[in-house]
Structure 1
């Protein structure tokens, strides 16, 4: 900063008898360098402070020019010097902004804002008369109490920040649920008349909801296509490589269907191609996205930050919200070329969606098994068992999915040569399979023969 020097500007102190002779010392060069060193979050806080003053405080004519941008810039310099740099992170932007607003209230209340380069000079000295000072403090404190929703009165941000969500006003959750219900029905129709339905959405429906449905159906379809296509009996290496790239392209598009399911289908694809380490990386990525508020949104309330983020999403396309906030169940068709071959799904089992966490633990077990990582293999088996038990005790499974998940546990025990445990799992699965949808009975029979 010292090497930047200072500028002298021919502007005198307003009202001074020597105003025409005085010069002002300007630190604008150093200030620009400091501003350029700000993180994105610091810049956003500075911008929000300027919006607050310009579009809310200065709506009162008698308060215009009372709080100028230079004061806010100086305030940001002081706060940035005092706080640890790690505080200015994107997930703490609301807290950072509220801290800046709180400091502004303090400075006005005590008529103290020291110049950053000449601390002996108080920028707020005799700045406010009593009435204006009380009025500014009252307005700022009122805005502070409203939190981030103070910008509901801002011309720039009013359309994305409104009243907070309540337990009975979860409009976004309802919109996403409705979207999924429509998509589920549409996808059933899609399986029967795919070209007609997609053509209709593409050419005759231009609404936002229609575009979202089309996008969702398309992403799910991209998960199905690689499962249908099979290698030709006499395909050479080049043909197999072309198919690999083609299937991978489809599945990458399929990851846009929701937060998790598309990734797990992709992980299964890499597992089938014996790329176990990459499959594990993708599984871990999916685990990080399987948060409670996405898996069971009806059971968990929202804190203030989550409510605010939901409001930011209010103007977002439904398909984007769905991808960010929802978790679907991965599906594999009969004779799928990318599902784990250990499953050997029957025609009936293909209609049963996999619970994402259950499937992720099972796929992790398979990867570690083929990597000969015994410790991680047993750890995945333990986590699989615990997850199944947790879901049984909380009644989160439907009757059709229970046998399939127990079969996965049985397969894992069978691969580890734990025959008795495998037999118990297949026996339990067969007992719960009242509608004979799974191959539990056949597996039990084979296990008894062995």
Structure 2
């Protein structure tokens, strides 16, 4: 606890001298009364440390730390207030999330064996990845303009910091997504203006490919499909599917032991978090008020799609593959794709919550609807509503409400 105080917390900007060792001793004394003597043994060092740490966070958050010998005397009363308290609490919560690993940044224990230090680095890197893929900050920007894109590009060109450029490039690839969504997806077979617009659209999509593992490729396949270039779309989809391995990370997923073993390789830690996410992260396909990009088959009517729809990435690949084969009248192939959608749902493939599972069933229902199996379509839509019973956010409710559709 003293190492934590002196070499971690006090070294953080704005947190120096806010806490003292007497506070730590007081917390330890109170916990020694609350917990049985049998708990305090070497084998329980880490759990005991974390209990003390958690109590320290509580005391700072609620500004209460009773004196051990004079309990009516609150040691934290008017002691840590305002901006200082906010900074301290932020540092404490951040360090607490790392657990025991947080003290390894201390010079006091810098002479640990190299294996231990390497494990520390792996764990901290994995924890950072975990936080990001569970955070809404990884979701795409909802609205943007060409001017936003140009400003971001200008900032990249002017920045001298590699770290800042890396972050800005990540933002620019996200802006590329939205730029494509706001454009009318033009047909290249028309006048020169339409052809140039088509090429511009392709350019933005190719930039978005660098955002994560597959979503940019799927946007490219969607463009080809919309222009009836089915064989081109199938080539892109087949390539995208090769990237959807179990070693990839989905939104909201937990870092597995397999991923931690993967992060032992210095390659990923040298790449950094953002570049690692470009390789490993499978982002859901997100349509939010973007009628230009959404598949017509997913719309209920021409004025549809004012709500947000997020589709699991592998489910979307199989759905688009199904549609391409259906349009090419490849009966055996589209039946296989239909089976792939069902298998993806059964395996819960890259579906971290019920909203994504419900969207997958909705896609399955649409596929059944296209081939004329209305009974199977109805079952899929009903299953979707059971999994995610929110009418405003689940399109299956609207599909089931269409008169005489499934009678």
TM-score norm. by structure 2 comes to 0.60
Equivalence for 2:341 = 384
- What's the CA shift string for 1:289-340, capped at 9, x where partnerless? 11112136746434998455x3123222543222122222222233432332
2:221 corresponds to 1:221: no
- What's the CA shift string for 1:138-164, capped at 9, x where partnerless? xxxxxxxxxxxxxxxxxxxxxxx9879
2:250 corresponds to 1:287: no
Summarize the Cα distance change of 1:329–1:165 in structure 2 as closer, same or farther, 3 Å threshold: farther
Equivalence for 2:211 = 257
Equivalence for 1:172 = 125
How big is the shift at 1:440?
1.7
Which residues in structure 2 correspond to 1:135-284 (within 5 Å)?
166=119, 169-177=122-130, 184=137, 188=141, 191=144, 194=148, 198=152, 202=156, 207-230=161-184, 237-284=191-238
Q: Which runs of 5+ in 1 are unaligned?
A: 1-160
2:400 corresponds to 1:444: yes
Summarize the Cα distance change of 1:179–1:388 in structure 2 as closer, same or farther, 3 Å threshold: closer
Equivalence for 2:33 = none
The whole-number CA distance in structure 2 between the counterparts of 1:231 and 1:322 is 28
> SS of the residue aligned with 2:247?
helix
Number of equivalences: 286
Q: Is the 8 A contact 1:287 1:360 kept in 2?
A: yes
CA RMSD of aligned residues (A): 3.8
Q: Which runs of 5+ in 2 are unaligned?
A: 1-113
- Selected match of 2:275 from 308, 316, 320: 320
Summarize the Cα distance change of 1:303–1:449 in structure 2 as closer, same or farther, 3 Å threshold: closer
Q: Is the 8 A contact 1:352 1:400 kept in 2?
A: no
TM-score norm. by structure 1 comes to 0.54
Which residues in structure 2 correspond to 1:38-437 (within 5 Å)?
166=119, 169-177=122-130, 184=137, 188=141, 191=144, 194=148, 198=152, 202=156, 207-230=161-184, 237-295=191-249, 298=254, 300-302=256-258, 306-307=262-263, 310-344=265-299, 350-391=307-348, 396-436=351-391, 437=393
Summarize the Cα distance change of 1:167–1:371 in structure 2 as closer, same or farther, 3 Å threshold: farther
The whole-number CA distance in structure 2 between the counterparts of 1:322 and 1:304 is 14
> SS of the residue aligned with 2:296?
coil
How big is the shift at 1:449?
3.6
Structure showing greater radius of gyration is 1
How big is the shift at 1:362?
0.8
Summarize the Cα distance change of 1:304–1:315 in structure 2 as closer, same or farther, 3 Å threshold: closer
- What's the CA shift string for 1:346-389, capped at 9, x where partnerless? 87775332211111111111111111000010111011012112
The whole-number CA distance in structure 2 between the counterparts of 1:326 and 1:171 is 18
